[in-house]
Each structure stands twice: as structure tokens, then as C-alpha cells.
């Protein structure tokens, strides 16, 4: 009787393992969130990159400064601290 129960448990475990093994093999255990790219996606990305670079070469050179407030500000540097000028003493003596 015990042998039949043990045999049934082993047989049921083997059946479960044979059903679960193909599903387990399809899982990506090392990097579960990694998406693999196909050759078509790689080719599309390369074409997009080439088109972008070609478009960038066609554009004229831009100014290095892109400061919208540049015309409003003065050309000199701002003084961080202003020293008060000493007041001249006026003499009250009359000549």
C-alpha cells in the first residue's frame, strides 16, 4: 500500500515537472526585463541614426551663444560690492 502511494506521488511529480519545464525554459531568469531586439529593429535604428546625422550636417552653423537676454544686459561685468565714496568736508571758514 505504501509503495503504491509513493509511486503515485513520484509519478504525479514527474508529470508536473514535464508540464512545467517548457514554460520554465522560456523565462529569462538572468535579466527578466531585458528586451531583445530583432534584426529589423537594429536596421531601423541604424537608418534613423544615419538620417539624423545627415540632417545635422545639412543645417547651417548656429551661434555659440543662445542667450535671449544677451541684448538686455550690459557688456560690463556686474560689481558685486560698491564702496561708498568718502564725502569731502566743506569748510565753513570764509576768506
User: Do the Cβ atoms of 37 and 31 come closer than 8 Å?
Assistant: no
Contacts 24+ apart (CB under 8 A), 32-37: none
In this prediction the pTM is 0.34
Residue 35: all three cell numbers together: 528586451
Residues 6+ apart with CB under 8 A from 45: 37
What ranges do the domains of the chain cover? Answer: 1-26
Residue 38: all three cell numbers together: 530583432
Instruction: Encode the chain (95 residues) as per-residue pLDDT tens digits.
Output: 889 999 999 999 999 888 877 777 777 677 777 778 899 999 999 999 999 999 999 988 766 666 777 777 666 655 555 566 666 666 666 65
Q: Please tell me the distance from the alpha carbon of residue 28 to that of residue 33, in angstroms, as a whole number.
A: 8
Amino acid at each position: 500500500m505504501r509503495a503504491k502511494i509513493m509511486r503515485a506521488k513520484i509519478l504525479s511529480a514527474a508529470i508536473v515537472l514535464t508540464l512545467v519545464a517548457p514554460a520554465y525554459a522560456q523565462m529569462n531568469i538572468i535579466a527578466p526585463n531585458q528586451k531583445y531586439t530583432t534584426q529589423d529593429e537594429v536596421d531601423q535604428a541604424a537608418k534613423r541614426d544615419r538620417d539624423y546625422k545627415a540632417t545635422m550636417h545639412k543645417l547651417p552653423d548656429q551661434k555659440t551663444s543662445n542667450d535671449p537676454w544677451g541684448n538686455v544686459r550690459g557688456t560690463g561685468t556686474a560689481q558685486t560690492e560698491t564702496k561708498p565714496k568718502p564725502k569731502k568736508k566743506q569748510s565753513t571758514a570764509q576768506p
